[in-house]
Structure 1
Amino acid sequence: MKNAPITKSNESAGTGRANSTSMPLVHIRRGEAVTDSLAIAREFRRRHDNVMQTVAALIAEGTIGVLEVKETSYIDKWNRVQPCIELTERGALIAMPFIGGRNSRTGQVRLVDAFLVLRDQLAEKTSAAWVDTRKQAAASYRFMSQALEMARTDDGKNTGTYHYANEAKLLNWILTGQFSSMDRTDLPQPELALLEALEVRNAMLLARGVPYNERKQALPQYAEQWRMKRLAEPKLQRLKTFLIGGASVR
């Protein structure tokens, strides 16, 4: 990658990806924690095209090495493919002071914290919990594939490799914001658990005959509800522990 892409200043360049507020600030790619220009723009409250230009300038002058970045893309709210730049942890940390924006200080803190959390999650991937969740996600994918095949058979249609891949990419889009293939071994345990839940929910919707476009609207909402529930569970557990402890004292 000699030159990073620079978008023109227009309305679409400044927009985030669909349901971008539910997308992680940092994600895993090939076993490495990375972020991207769109996530940075959202977090720092800057236009995406401005972030792209800043990163491209840092690459051009050699401040950020070409091995620290990767050209990628995302789907905007008009379902158009837009350019994006993925950055390694080192590349992001170098770029942060140059990004600016209305939320610069808070954005830098949150980005650093997100990378630290993902480091812990990467270490977690050797745990029995991750292995179990990975097996469950594989089983739920087979369940979803069977539901897809049955739904298409009921409509008198054949099911090809493309159709299975399209369903997988739909769920990948909900997790990462990109309609592309994904290595599941890159996912931390919480994201694997969400993927399993999405596969089961998608299978149920397929069995009910819900069209693709309706599922594309419903599944991101389900993912957001699932994440919010997971965040609330530790708080509820602490509250139960407190109440039980208080009752025993009385």
Structure 2
Amino acid sequence: MRVLIVEDDRETRDWIDAGLLEEGYLTQAVGDGREGVALAVQGHFDGIVVDRKLPGLDGINFIRAARSADVQSGIIMLTALCDTRQRIEGLDAGADDYLGKPFAMAELVARLRALSRRPALNRESTLLEWGPLVLDLTRHVGTCMGEPLDLTPTEFRLFEILMRHAGKVVTRSMLLEQVWNFHFNLRTSVVETHMSRLRGKVRVNGGESLIETVRGYGYRLQARSHPA
């Protein structure tokens, strides 16, 4: 697993780098947000560990820039600001997970492992199909009419939940609980932000999205996408 570390404090950066190398990860470490974005866009990283406070470009804007450039890597944000509001801001920006400082190396490694296997909600079925949509949980690949969908780990997770409940409404509360582990309904646009990106990708021939917004309830895969 290749991991990009973006942390401006040299001591912390070197500690993370050494810890991940010891665990068998391939790493690249930088201390500037803009340099980090350039590397994230150019290189294929399975995971990115980014500090919130960075020179050049802070962690929140780093994530926004990376996601705008269609970087699909799983992102874990590090910060000493670990209250709920700060956590929500990071998730809304496009982070997949959040880790407050100080933290144990074992926890960071565990979170990276969890991120790499996050799509697997249930391993009883490894191939989900709904009309032109196919989700292969073993290969971690989603397709629409045979064409691959370029999904972030969070988008894949959302897509899997929709596929497992195809034709049925998936509520916002259900998504908050199963994807972000929030067991209460927060005032946050994190669901809407990620679902909007996913809806833009799940289209047939560039037309209308196959993910339908059910106002006041949640989302569902359109029933007409299923073969008769």
TM exceeding 0.5:
no
More strand by share: 2
More helix by share: 1
Taking structure 1 as the reference length, what is the TM-score of the superposition? Answer: 0.27
Rg comparison, structure with higher value:
1
Taking structure 2 as the reference length, what is the TM-score of the superposition? Answer: 0.28
